A and B are shown apart, each in its own frame.
Chain A
Amino acid sequence: MIKVKVFLSLRKIFGQKEISSEAENIEELLRKLVKQYDGLEDALFKDSKQNELRPGIIILVNGRHIKWPPAISTPLKEGDEVAIFPYICGG
């Protein structure tokens, strides 16, 4: 199982802070989630081709940032924690 934590405005789309899923890599995970949650495709991707993330989307695996697109194929393994932020700045 992969733990997926979502933040800020994405919580409205998911209706919760955290879900569990299964996937071999980030790309597969995102495509799976987009099918499951209404409005997520629009929130994450530039268009329905799902090739390019919207600017500002930040994804971390186990607390480390991954870079998109080079790391789209970042592999996932049992017990990993993926965090998705819609945008972040401030502080």
Chain B
Amino acid sequence: MYGLIGKILRVNLTEGKITEEEIPEELVRKYLGGRGLASRYLFNEVKPGVDPLAPENKLIFMSGLLTGTQYPSASRYSVVAKSPLTGLWGQASSGGYWGVDLKKSGFDGIIFEGISQTPVYLVIDNGKAELRDAQELWGKNVFETTEILKEKLGKKFNIACIGQAGERLVKYASIMNDKHRAAGRCGFGAVMGSKNLKAIGVSGTEEIKIADEEGFKNLSEKLFNLLDESILRFGMGEFGTNMVLDMVNIVGGFPTRNWQTGVCPFVDEINGTALKDKLSPSPKGCFACPVKCGRMSEIRQGPYAGQKGEGPEYESVGTFGGMCYVDNLEAITYAHFLCNDYGLDTISCGSTIAFTMECFEKGILTKEDYDGFEINFGDAEKMVNLVHKIAKREGIGDLLAEGTKRMAEKLGQGSERFAMQVKGLELPAYDSRAAKITGLAFATANRGGCHIDAYVQGATFIQVPYTLIEDSQIEDVHKENPKEAKVVKDLQDVFADVDSLGICKFMCLALRAEDLSESIAQITGLQFSVEDLRKTGERIYNLERAFNIREGLTRAHDTLPKRLLEEPLPEGIAEGQVNNLKILLDPYYEFRSWDKITGKPTPEKLKELGLEDVIEQIYASE
């Protein structure tokens, strides 16, 4: 097969049985690889109503169609499963080198099913796979697990694993690879933990076949050079993802004190410039990446001095800094390092701590509830402490380990107003009241409160016009313009392609749709136009939506926390703004051909996308 290796591994952990399967060509044409292909397997194999932590849930790792090639940033793999945080379709993507090494090991993906009786890890060495005992690794965190396995298996092996948070089924535990890279969102570390699967080590030399080698090489080199000289590289390479912070704050949308305001007074202590000055990071990139947004940092002062790691990213600074109102960059950085080592999603973790701070502020939680524990906004030391408690489910940490949605359900007293999540997934550090269609993107994202499902902040907060879709122009970010609902739809669709190809979304601020469709045609040898690209993204997006519909999702779930809908931003340029979601939701459903009452994709739309089999699944009970 061209592009993909053409094989997946199926690992039944209950029986300890490993089998190989061929990937039908037809599936590649329709779903490419990565997210799209994995979602098709999930839709076929996980029946509605399954508990995400039960043996019946499947945990699917899948490299992208371009992963491992020289196409710029072709490093990524996706993890797809039913999410324990949302109870819906979930996906997380990660870069580094692991996805490349998975493909080189001889398989595009792995489907884990069942639950092992005792802790195990999987080793794939050049086409040969084996489950091994992981009892001595259980209880260890990500960095140590990775080091032990590299020592044991050899340096050429690349490791993806969980830390203590995944073992203890923290609902937003991540899966980590290359030590510091996270398949962070949706709580797949907990799914891996529930299966008693500690790690996956991969190594191999399998070659990727390319139908039009010369054309693909030329295109990849051209794009690599373009990106190498682009503003993306100069900006990200020097300041990392955190450089966006000042901009988000100036437009009044930097969530501060758990989204009580969108303007933070101490940004100069925590922004991209502060990070560069205080942590003197050195750039680090994923496989085949010209941009290199990652950074290896060292904390140089204070109680955490000497701690080293990768990051922190903008989202970690946004949640532990702005949302928790902590102005101490060293503490923010250490909390981020701890999340990587325990295997926790920094967005959900920081956001859950900020929610807890507000619960104490409002007297919903009190000192008496958890043995005298109390935390206020801005308390850096206790914030760091809470990360340990969450990962170990110690004391109040056991409550926080469930995420904001479940916490609010338990605590009541109006706390759901400011539990900043959508469908159970905590929101990222962009206040959608300051750029309205961002709210539509959050409300409708298939995996819940996510900023990179549509990556619409490129068009709103940053206002870089995308060349990936026909029109991404936003007239006035403070106005809900029904026409602009199409921007969200188009970006959601094309980014479903991007995740299926296994490339990085940051590149997409500079790439054109043709750069993707041509690469697909060249690598597979199939005819593949921009129109095919758009349809493929839409097909994948609708399939995921159908998974969610089958789980009981309706239009009522496509919403935002009450704080965003009803509480106007109190200051800054976006003062007085709230999200009037309804103005955007109806036209969005129209652009999507989804029923405005039920939220279901219409049978005609599903037919048009070649998803005929899905029709009976989501219309069966009618």
A residues near B, CB below 8 A? 5, 7-9, 11, 17, 54-56, 58, 60, 62-65, 83, 85-91
Contacts and interface: CB of A to CB of B under 8 A. Distances in A.
A83 B573 CA distance: 13
B509 interface: yes
A90 B573 contact: no
Interface size on B, as a range, is 35 or more
Contacts of A5: 250
Q: DSSP class of A's interface residues: helix, strand, loop or mixed?
A: loop
A56 B227 CA distance: 13
Contacts of B293: 90
Interface in B161-177: none
Interface of B: 231-232, 234-236, 238-244, 246-248, 250-252, 268, 272-273, 293, 314-315, 428-430, 451, 457-458, 461-464, 477, 506, 509, 572-574
B464 A89 contact: yes
A4 to B, nearest CB: 13
Contacts of B243: 8, 88-90
Contacts of B234: 9, 56, 86-87
Contacts of B430: 91
Nearest to A64: B573
Contacts of A55: 231
A89 to B, nearest CB: 5
7 contacts: A8-B239, A9-B234, A56-B234, A63-B252, A88-B235, A90-B242, A91-B429
B252 A90 contact: no
Residue with the greatest number of chain B CB neighbours at <10 A, chosen from A11, A54, A89, A90: A90
Given A89-B506, A91-B315, A91-B430, A58 B235 contact: no
B247 A85 contact: yes
Contact of B506 (A54, A64, A87, A90): A90
Given A7-B246, A17-B268, A91 B273 contact: no
Given A11-B273, A65-B463, A89-B506, A58 B238 contact: no
A63 B462 contact: no
What are the nearest 9 A-B pairs in CB distance? A63-B573, A56-B231, A90-B241, A87-B235, A87-B231, A90-B244, A91-B244, A65-B463, A91-B314
Nearest to B263: A63
A14 to B, nearest CB: 12
Residue with the greatest number of chain B CB neighbours at <10 A, chosen from A7, A86, A88, A89: A89
Nearest to A62: B573
A82 to B, nearest CB: 11
Given A7-B273, A11-B273, A58-B462, A89 B251 contact: no
Contacts of A62: 573
Contact of A8 (B273, B314, B574): B273
Contact of A63 (B236, B250, B458, B506): B250
A91 B457 contact: yes
Nearest to B231: A56
Contacts of A17: 268
Contacts, number: 86
B244 to A, nearest CB: 4
Contacts of B247: 7, 58, 85, 88
A86 B272 CA distance: 13
A86 B463 contact: no
A58 B250 CA distance: 12
B400 to A, nearest CB: 25
B241 A91 contact: yes
Given A58-B463, A63-B572, A89 B273 contact: no
Contacts of A86: 234-235
Nearest to B463: A65
A9 B246 CA distance: 13
A48 B101 CA distance: 48
A85 B247 CA distance: 8
A8 B238 contact: yes
B273 A88 contact: no
A8 B239 CA distance: 8
A56 B150 CA distance: 42
A89 B231 contact: yes
Nearest to A85: B247
Contacts of B252: 63
Residue with the greatest number of chain A CB neighbours at <10 A, chosen from B238, B457, B463: B463
B72 to A, nearest CB: 15
A44 B268 CA distance: 23
Contacts of B248: 91
Contacts of B429: 91
A67 B231 CA distance: 18
A87 B273 CA distance: 13
Contact of B272 (A8, A54, A60, A64): A8
Contacts of B451: 91
Residue with the greatest number of chain B CB neighbours at <10 A, chosen from A9, A17, A62, A83: A9
A62 B250 CA distance: 8
A85 B238 CA distance: 14
Contacts of A7: 246-247, 273
A63 B251 contact: yes
Residue with the greatest number of chain A CB neighbours at <10 A, chosen from B231, B244, B457: B231
